[in-house]
Structure 1
Amino acid sequence: MDLNTLIFGVYPYVAIAVFLLGSWIRFDHEQYTWKSDSSQLLSKKGLRLASNLFHIGIIGLFFGHAVGLLIPHSVFIALGVSDMTHQWIAISAGTVFGGMCLLGAALLWMRRMFTSRVRAASRWMDINILGWLALTAFLGLSTIPVSIQHANAGNAGTMILLAEWVQSIAYLRPNPELLRSVDLVYKLHLFVGISVFLFFPFTRLVHIWSAPIGYLGRAYQIVRSKRGLVRS
């Protein structure tokens, strides 16, 4: 088994298994650690900007990757989205959301490193996961110039290969050979991105599982104040 097969044929399933089983075990045995560990009370300086940039960026990247890579190529063609249109949309969205994510992650990392009160309350993994996510975003942005070159040459082959590889992993038919000829920067981005799933259960990222989606449709809460009733 060569390195390409090991990283892009076996490693994704190891990361996914740790991601799912690790999250389940942590929720079952360490529910008191199942939280985002907000540091807002320790220091508010720069937090709103950094947090909003990071969260908007990473959510945009998540859904962009999900739509762009998991939907079969034939569906885009049937919808009238050409390969070049698809590629330019991916480049544009990746630049915007990737830039937001990188800037937000970098600001949050610097805050945890250099704000004394936040640093004192931070765990090793809090700092490292922010750095790893920033690295993932940086490598993703590093693929943009290469993708632009491909798009200018009218070549969507790499984009299609990447999507077919992701679908082969998702459908339990791994085909690492699809990535053998892909540029190194894409492979580095994929490896670092896959590793996020491996680290996930051991970090504060587990709070994603408990995203309060129901909050959007909840009924108003009645809050009593000195000035009367307030709807919140």
Structure 2
Amino acid sequence: MTSQFLWVIFPYLCIAVFIVGHIFRYRHDQFGWTAKSSEFIEKKQLMIGSLLFHIGIFPVILGHVAGLGIPKEWTRAMGVSDHMYHIGAVWGGGFFGVVTLAGMIILTSRRFTNSNVRHLSSASDLIVNTFLLVIVILGVYSSLITNTMTPGFDYRSTISIWFRSLLILQPQAEFMASVPIAFKLHILTGFLIFAMWPFTRLVHVWSVPLNYVGRSYILYRKDKRN
């Protein structure tokens, strides 16, 4: 029963909250759909932390999509051996994971230790920052430590198959039974942040300012009377 809840009910519940929550928030709280930037309070740490985080997170996301969504039979057919894939996933993913972690440490430290930034932050901001930091730590640990210190474990033969079974609505929780605890915690906290997403400022990632491309320039003219 616990296994069914953790690896079937809980993921679907988080996905449902993610979808319904976004629809509700967009329809009833569009003016709250903002990042509430604190750049005017402190800029240096924000710039460094944000740069590191974004440099690392995009390759990490692509790595997750490839690792979870592409069966190992497909990569073998493309001439990529399991060993080659493993080396790339561990060290490539580990490197970008560490870059992401460095960015998250700076951003989280800034939010908690800078009194002005913390005063501007809501409780949800602090919780989200903490959760993201924990998720990244667990991900880096799983990639660099658990992957190399657990002989015989292959996440593409366990986690990936389980994840794809969720997508086709034929969940197979039994594939998660032998997964190391670090990976399990990483997955559960990851789904939890998806459930929290619609109710936090994370929603701003969907606000791509495409209208700025064709918008006219704003002209500033000096007042000659002064």
- TM-score scaled to structure 1, two decimals? 0.87
Identity %: 34
Structure 2, unaligned runs of 5 or more: 222-226
- TM-score scaled to structure 2, two decimals? 0.89
Task: Tell me the residue number matched to 1:178.
Answer: 175
User: How far, CA to CA, are the matches of 2:153 and 2:184 in structure 1?
Assistant: 17
Q: Deviations over 1:152-195 (max 9, x none)?
A: x5x46333211111111122111110010111111111111111
Task: Tell me the residue number matched to 2:140.
Answer: 141
Q: CA deviation at 1:222?
A: 4.8
Q: Residues 221, 85 of structure 1: CA spacing in aligned structure 2 closer, same or farther, 3 A cutoff?
A: farther
Q: Residues 182, 156 of structure 1: CA spacing in aligned structure 2 closer, same or farther, 3 A cutoff?
A: closer
Task: Tell me the residue number matched to 2:56.
Answer: 57
Q: Deviations over 1:48-74 (max 9, x none)?
A: 101111122222221210122112222
RMSD: 2.1
Task: Tell me the residue number matched to 1:207.
Answer: 204
User: How far, CA to CA, are the matches of 1:211 and 1:61 in structure 2?
Assistant: 21
User: How far, CA to CA, are the matches of 1:52 and 1:16 in structure 2?
Assistant: 29
User: How far, CA to CA, are the matches of 1:80 and 1:163 in structure 2?
Assistant: 20
Structure 1, unaligned runs of 5 or more: 227-232
Matches within 5 A, 1:111-190: 111-143=110-142, 144-150=144-150, 155=152, 157-190=154-187
Q: CA deviation at 1:221?
A: 5.3
Mapped pair 1:18 → 2:17: yes
Does the CA-based 8 Å contact 1:35-1:206 persist in structure 2? yes
Q: Residues 121, 225 of structure 1: CA spacing in aligned structure 2 closer, same or farther, 3 A cutoff?
A: closer
Q: Deviations over 1:114-156 (max 9, x none)?
A: 1111111110111110110110011111112121235xx5x46
Does the CA-based 8 Å contact 1:140-1:189 persist in structure 2? yes
Superposition misfits of 4+ residues, deviation over 4 angstroms? 219-226
